[in-house]
Amino acid sequence: MRIIAAGDIHMAPGDVATIPGIGSADFIIITGDITNYGTSSDAAAVLNGLRAINSSILAVAGNLDQRDVARYLKDIGISIHGHGRILAAGLGIMGLGGSNYTPFGTPNEFSEEELADFLAAGFVQIEGADDFILVSHPPPLGTKTDMLADGRHVGSRAVRQFIEAKQPRLCLTGHIHESRGTDSIGRTLVLNPGMLKHGGYITVTCDNNGLAAALNP
């Protein structure tokens, strides 16, 4: 299995069609912020472009997507926010959209308690999986993937606590554009690829050698 994951699109997917193997990937995973304060019609424009390349898409909305974007993703059957699925070979995937509260009052923010509830609901649906991936728009607090330019950590406490307790193999995240990079929490590899228009994406592979992921070079 091969997955291409990216987020922080903000209506500007860049040269997404040039990502090696994107058309033949088993899934494209969108980690949030499909739009920039946009609505479901704005999200549809982005998704229609991606579907022309590869129709196998799973997604969560980000904090800069209006709430109706999250509803639209659910209506068209691709949302994994607060939900989980078992993919091939016993691999589970679950998602968390929106973000913890920010100083900017963006459209799709939640309390840490609400985020924890979404995570718990998604995990119930995949807890029998052999291994699983967490797709979380907000990065876990206190890592190399949630740092602002001034060094402050602004990720989610609930996401961190969930990872510490459940230890997904991978956490695919975003939200903090300037914090492109990787980190680890226990056995969990956390990856933030940065903005898609700047060439940021993650390649995930699952084969006889196990589950692995890397940022684009």
Per-residue pLDDT reduced to its tens digit, 22-45? 999 999 999 999 999 999 999 999
**pLDDT of amino acid 87:** 94
Gap between the Cα atoms of 153 and 140, Å rounded: 9
Q: Where are the alpha helices (DSSP H) in the chain?
A: 40-51, 67-75, 112-124, 157-166
**pLDDT of amino acid 88:** 85
pLDDT at 50 over 90: yes
pLDDT at 89 over 90: no
Kindly list the distances between the CA atom of residue 113 and the CA atoms of 99, 134, 138, 181, 202, in Å, as whole numbers in the listed order. 12, 18, 14, 27, 29
**pLDDT of amino acid 117:** 98
Q: In what side-by-side order are the strands of the sheet with 210-215?
A: 57-59, 27-30, 2-6, 202-207, 210-215
Write down the pTM of the prediction: 0.98
Joined tokens for residue 83? 């939900």
Query: What is the average pLDDT across 117-122?
Result: 98
Task: Residue 100: name the closest of 16, 197, 176 by CA.
Answer: 176
> In whole numbers, what is the pLDDT of the chain averaged over residues?
97
Please, what sign has the CA dihedral across residues 190, 206, 130, 91? positive
Query: What is the average pLDDT across 62-81?
Result: 98
Query: What is the average pLDDT across 72-101?
Result: 96
Q: For residue range 142-197, list pLDDT tens digits in order.
A: 999 999 999 999 999 999 999 999 999 999 999 999 999 999 999 999 999 999 99
What residue numbers bound the domain in which 159 lies? Answer: 2-215
User: Per the structure, how many domains does the chain have?
Assistant: 1
Provide the CATH number for the domain around residue 146: 3.60.21.10
- Give percent of the chain above pLDDT 90: 97
Q: Are 188 and 152 in contact (CB under 8 A)?
A: no
